[in-house]
């Protein structure tokens, strides 16, 4: 069985047509392995979120190919019959804002998607408590998000992203709203998850402080993908 979690070949994304055509991604090709955490960096407007949303089966590419694990999900058109099912079952999303539902308590936020996918309340709660304990926030399970700090809410957002045992986590600026200490705490947590859960993680970031914690640094340059080693990588 392959250890590759994400494989992209000759991926292209354009917006508009004719004189209004904007080329965002051109012929991007790369692979990311299970257990790796990869930082995605580029100037604002260079296509970081666009690339993340294509991998996440949210935004349709113009052309190219995308594999998630052993499954080819895109080959110049959507090959996967149900991209929503792929997002629910294979991918966890983490964003800059935690987007927790304010009228649900913490454990209800974490169990919402598994229960929507047919997992029983008992099993989904057991899994949620296991995740919250893993992230050292189980003592807040029955609190509301308004009672938690920004860093604590981001841990809950990570637990929610893990609730369906995803193969891939796509994080869009997950530490942008946090101070330096909390940013490092969150990226350490993501690194631990990648290693122990064998999950591939791509995190968009502008925060140089978290780069040493990543296995690879992926950059968008001239609308394509290049890799840069982290000279001070923390094992």
pLDDT tens by residue, 205-222: 888 888 899 999 999 988
State phi, psi for 210 to the nearest 5 degrees: -95, -10
Domain annotation for the chain: domains and CATH numbers? 36-57+81-228 (3.40.50.300)
Q: Is the pLDDT of residue 158 over 90?
A: no
The predicted-structure confidence for 79-127, as pLDDT tens digits, reads as follows 988 998 898 888 999 887 788 999 999 999 999 988 888 889 999 999 9
Secondary-structure breakdown of the chain: helix, strand, coil percentages, each rounded to the nearest 5? 35, 30, 35
pLDDT score recorded for residue 233: 55
In this predicted structure, what is the pLDDT of residue 138?
Answer: 93
Q: What is the mean pLDDT of the chain?
A: 88
Strand, coil or helix: 204 = strand
Q: Is the pLDDT score of 180 beyond 80?
A: no
Residue 96: exposure state from Cβ atoms within 10 A (0-12, 13-18, ≥19): middle
Q: What is the pLDDT of residues 40-83, one digit of tens each?
A: 998 888 889 999 999 999 999 999 999 999 999 999 999 988 99
pLDDT tens digits for range 7-47 = 999 999 999 888 889 999 999 999 999 999 999 998 888 88
pLDDT number for residue 39? 94
């Amino acid at each position: 069985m392959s250890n590759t979690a994400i494989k992209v070949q000759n991926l292209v994304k354009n917006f508009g047509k004719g004189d209004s055509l904007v080329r965002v991604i051109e012929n991007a090709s790369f692979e990311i392995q299970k257990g790796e955490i990869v930082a995605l960096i580029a100037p604002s407007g260079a296509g970081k979120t666009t690339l993340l949303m294509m991998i996440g089966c949210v935004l349709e590419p113009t052309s190219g190919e995308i594999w998630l694990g052993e499954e080819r999900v895109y080959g110049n058109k959507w090959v996967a019959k149900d991209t929503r099912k792929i997002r629910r079952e294979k991918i966890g999303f983490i964003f800059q804002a935690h987007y927790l539902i304010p009228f649900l308590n913490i454990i209800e936020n974490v169990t919402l998607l598994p229960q929507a996918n047919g997992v029983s309340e008992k099993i989904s709660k057991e899994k949620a408590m296991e995740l919250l304990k893993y992230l050292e926030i189980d003592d807040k399970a029955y609190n509301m998000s308004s009672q938690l700090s920004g860093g604590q809410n981001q841990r809950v957002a990570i637990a929610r992203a893990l609730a369906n045992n995803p193969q891939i986590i796509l994080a869009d600026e997950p530490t942008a709203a946090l101070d330096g200490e909390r940013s490092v705490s969150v990226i350490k947590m993501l690194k631990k998850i990648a290693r122990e859960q064998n999950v591939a993680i791509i995190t968009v970031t502008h925060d140089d402080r978290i780069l040493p914690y990543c296995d690879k640094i992926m950059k968008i340059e001239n609308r394509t993908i290049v890799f840069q080693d982290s000279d001070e990588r923390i094992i």
